[in-house]
Amino acid sequence: MVDAAGRATPGAVVATYHGPMAVPAAMAVTDARGVARIGVPEGTFALSVTSAVGAAWLPDQKAVPVSVRVDRPCAQVTGSVVVEPAAAIGAAAVHVTVLTDDFATFAANVDAAGRFASCVPAGEAIATVDGDVVAVAQRVRVAPGAVLGVAGYWRRNVEQTVAAALDPGDEAALVRGIPARVRVVGIGEANHGTAEFLALRQRLAIAMSATGPTIIMLEAGVAEAFALDRYAQGEAVDLVGAIRDLGYWMWNTIEFRAFIDAVRAHNQAHPAAVIRVLGFDVQDTQAACDVLLATATLATAERALVERLRADRGRAVVGFAVEEARALDALLARLQVIAPGAGVDAATNRVALAAIELVGRVGTLRADPMEGARRRDQGMADVVVAVARLEPGARIVALAHNGHLAREPYSTVESMGQALERALGDAYYPIGLFVDGGDAWAWNPAGTRREAVPLTPTPRHALEATTLRATGARPLYLHLHDAPAAVRAWAARPRYVREFGAQASGDVGDFVLRLVPTAFDAVIVIPRGHATTPLPAPVPG
C-alpha cells in the first residue's frame, strides 16, 4: 500500500468484503513496508484500505498480489461503540459505507473500550459493527474531526434462542386478529422469488374481502397496474401482456398469473365483494404519461414536457432547463389533486394518481442515490394514502418487500412503512413474511443471471429457526402483541432475519438485524419455500 507519492503506508487497515451486501470477510494491518497479507473469499471480492493519508476502494478483485495507491481523500474521525452491559470488547470492527454511487466501505478496529479511529471519505454514511459486538445499520455523517457514536449489542445476546412453545395459529386466525380500525394491511415478503409467498398473500387478501371492500396494491407502477385491475374486474385484457408491461421480473411469473386469475374468479363468484388490483410504485413514467396525454387537459407546452418525460423512465428530466422544470412541477402539482368523493375510477382521479406517480419518479431522478431511495418510499406511501382517501370504505392490502413495509428504516432510509405510520397511525398494520429454507428465484450471488438460489436453513438463533422450533416446525401465524411473554422478551432485542430483494448473497449477507416488534405487528414464518416460475416472455431488470 502506497500513498499518492509512492511511499509505503504502514499501519493502514486493509479489509475485504464479499457479496452484493459487502459482507466483511477479513482484516489486516500493513507492516513497516506497507504490506499486508489477508485471507480473501473465493471468486471476486471488494478491497478497502484506510490510512492516515488517504483511502482506497477496489470493488472487483481477484486473489492475486495487488498494489494499492491510497489516494482517495478522507476525513480523520474518531468514535466509540456503546454496548450494554458495558464490558471489555475482545474483537470487533466498525465498517463505514459511504453513500455515494460506489457505496465504498471502510473498516476500523475497535479497542477494548469500544474506541476506534479511521480516515473515511467525507459525507453521509452507514455505520455497522461486526465481531463480538454487532449493530443495526446506523446513519452517520463523516467530516474532519467528527466523533461518531454507534450503538451495539453483544453478539452472544443477539444469538440467543428461545424455548417457549408457540401456538402456530392459522391463516383464518391471523385475518380475524387484524383490528377493525386498520385501513392498510401491509403483507411483506423476505425475498421477491418465493412461490408460497404469492399464494399465501392471495389467500389472505381474498379472506379479508369477506369483511368489506378490499383493494390489493402491488409494488408495481401506478398506471402500469390499471390493466391488471381491468382484467380482475372481468374485462378482456391480455393478462400475460399486462404482467409483462409492469416491467418487474418478480411479477412476471406463473404464480402471479395464477394470483390474478384467482382474484378474477373470486370477483366473478362474489360480485358483492369485488377485489380491486392497483399499483403504488413510482419507478417508471411511460404509462403515467400516457394517462395524462390521453385524459388531462394540457396546454401545448405542457404536452411537450410530458412527451419528453415519457421515454427512458423519465431520465430526460435531469436535463430540463430551470423554467422547464418549474413548469413541469407546476403541472404535476395541479394534476395530482384527488377528488375523494369520486373514487378511483373517476377520470380526474386516474390522472391524479398518475401525476402522483410522476412526482415520485421525478423526485428520485433529481436526488442522490440515498435521497432517491427515500423519495421512492415516500412516493409509494403517498399513492397508498391517496387511494385510502379515494376509497374510504375499503381496506387496502399492500404487497411489497418487508424492507419497504416495515416500520423501520430500509438501509437507514425512511421506509414506506414509516411514512404510512406517520400518515395513518395505528390504522396501518404491517405483517412480515419469512421462510426458513428451500430456494427462491433471484439474481445469483455473482449478479450474472436469475436462477433458483438455495436457501439453506437459517441459524438456530434467527427468527425463522427459533419460531419454527417453538411451533414444532409448523408454519407460524403470529400477532406479536399476542405472543407469549418469553417470546416478546426475546423479540425485544434485535434478531437476525433472512431478507434480500432482487439479489441473494447465498450466505450471511442475506441476513439483517431487525427489532421485530418495531418493524411489524405480525409475522408469518413458513418452513420451506420454492422458487417462482418465470413466464416465457422475459422482462428486463
Smallest CA-to-CA distance from 469 within 510, 525, 430, 424 is with 525
> How far is residue 254's CA from residue 195's CA, in Å, rounded to a whole number?
9
Q: Across the strands, what pairs with 238?
A: none
247, part of any domain = no
Can you say how many angstroms the Cα of residue 230 is from the centroid of all Cα atoms in its chain? Answer: 29
Phi, psi of 465, deg, nearest 5: -65, -40
32, part of any domain = yes
Neighbours of 354 (CB within 10 A): 28
500, part of any domain = no
SS (H, E, C) 352-388: HHHHHHHHHHHHHHCCCHHHHHHHHHHHHHHHHHHHH
Length of the chain: 541
128, part of any domain = yes
Full-model pTM: 0.92
Contact (Cβ atoms closer than 8 angstroms) between residue 435 and residue 194:
yes
Q: Which of 139, 158, 177 is the last residue of a domain?
A: 158
Residues 152 and 286 in one domain: no
Contact (Cβ atoms closer than 8 angstroms) between residue 18 and residue 105:
no
SS (H, E, C) 50-71: ECCCCEEEEEEECCCCCCCECC
Q: Which of 337, 359, 392 is the last residue of a domain?
A: 392
- CA distances to 142, 152, 195, 438, 534 from 452, rounded to whole Å, are 39, 35, 11, 9, 11
The total of structural domains in the chain comes to 2
The arrangement of strands across the sheet holding 55-61 comes to: 23-29, 13-18, 45-50, 55-61
Q: Which helix (H) or strand (E) holds 463?
A: helix 463-470
Q: Which helix (H) or strand (E) holds 464?
A: helix 463-470
Q: Which of 124, 142, 158 is the last residue of a domain?
A: 158
Phi, psi of 53, deg, nearest 5: -115, -5
Q: Which helix (H) or strand (E) holds 18?
A: strand 13-18
Q: Across the strands, what pairs with 396?
A: 184, 215
Neighbours of 466 (CB within 10 A): 24
129, part of any domain = yes
Q: Where are the alpha helices (DSSP H) in 221-346?
A: 226-232, 239-246, 254-269, 286-295, 300-310, 322-335
Instruction: Going residue by residue through the chain, which has 541 residues, state the pLDDT in tens, using 9 for 90 and above.
Output: 898 888 999 999 999 988 767 788 899 999 999 999 988 777 788 999 999 889 999 988 887 788 899 999 999 999 999 999 999 999 999 999 998 778 899 999 999 999 999 999 999 899 999 999 999 989 999 999 999 999 999 999 999 998 778 899 999 999 999 999 999 999 999 999 999 999 999 999 999 999 899 999 999 999 999 999 999 999 999 999 999 999 999 999 999 999 999 999 999 999 999 999 999 999 999 999 999 999 999 999 999 999 999 999 999 999 999 999 999 999 999 999 999 989 999 999 999 999 999 999 999 999 988 889 999 999 999 999 999 999 999 999 999 999 999 999 998 889 999 999 999 999 999 999 999 999 999 998 878 899 999 999 999 999 999 999 999 999 999 999 989 999 999 999 999 999 998 888 877 779 999 999 999 999 999 999 999 999 986 676 6
520, part of any domain = no
> How far is residue 469's CA from residue 164's CA, in Å, rounded to a whole number?
9
Domain limits for position 17: 13-158
> How far is residue 470's CA from residue 389's CA, in Å, rounded to a whole number?
41
Contact (Cβ atoms closer than 8 angstroms) between residue 18 and residue 45:
yes
Pairing of strands 75-83, 115-120: antiparallel
257, part of any domain = no
Residues 152 and 289 in one domain: no
CATH code for position 52? 2.60.40.1120
> What torsion do the CA atoms of 205, 210, 211, 217 make, to the nearest 10 degrees?
30
Tell me the Ramachandran region of residue 76: left when phi exceeds 0, alpha when psi lies from -120 to 50, beta otherwise.
beta
203, part of any domain = no
CA angle (371, 377, 380) in 5-degree steps: 140
